[in-house]
Chain A
């Protein structure tokens, strides 16, 4: 079974600085998808960024980028120029390529942004 591990329960960053959230996963599949979701307090989970395993190029969405290391099964999220609105729980998630495969989540990292 696939597992996702987020080893940092909590992180903090100064406003305008850069922070990196770690994620590792375990799978025997060669093709899959990886995601970072953001869950603000009392609000719904939203997608931040996604990565297809067959793509070598790291995904980027504005201030958010990933460092995808397939051989190491590592998928970290870098947030640049951190803003107060970035404060939230961040979940790393894995999904296989079968249409029936649900998302498998890590336990999350709570990010605080200090003004």
Chain B
């Protein structure tokens, strides 16, 4: 296992289109987090899963955003009707009960034109 994997690494989309990102966490990690990072800022929490259950969502997660983790393994983050303000790096992280820290993927950079 090489760590948290995110795909695609880069995505350019036209305003109004839908996009979906995938995150594969470290295999034994039951906790999975999505963060958004804009230029010059620290990551901002979006949502959190424990196994397949989505336990927490930030107010940043508008109704155009939806996240799933259907079998408690990989997760997807979908953004519908993208807006230019959605342009950011989307980071996924995972952790287990044994670790207090989270392990991050390389992120998906979204550009909405």
Known contacts A43-B106, A44-B105, A44-B106; is-contact A95 B42 (Cβ 8 Å): no
Selected contact of A50 from candidates B33, B45, B100, B103, CB within 8 Å: B100
What bracket does the count of chain B residues touching chain A fall in? 20 to 34
- Bound CA–CA A45/B37 (angstroms): 12
How far, in Å, is B96 (CB) from chain A's closest CB?
10
Q: Are B105 and A102 in contact (CB under 8 A)?
A: no
New A-B pairs, 8, CB < 8 Å, besides A33-B101, A44-B106, A52-B100: A33-B100, A44-B3, A99-B50, A99-B97, A103-B102, A104-B45, A105-B44, A106-B42
Query: B residues engaging A (CB < 8 A)?
Result: 3-4, 31, 33, 35, 40-45, 48, 50, 55-56, 91, 93, 97, 100-107
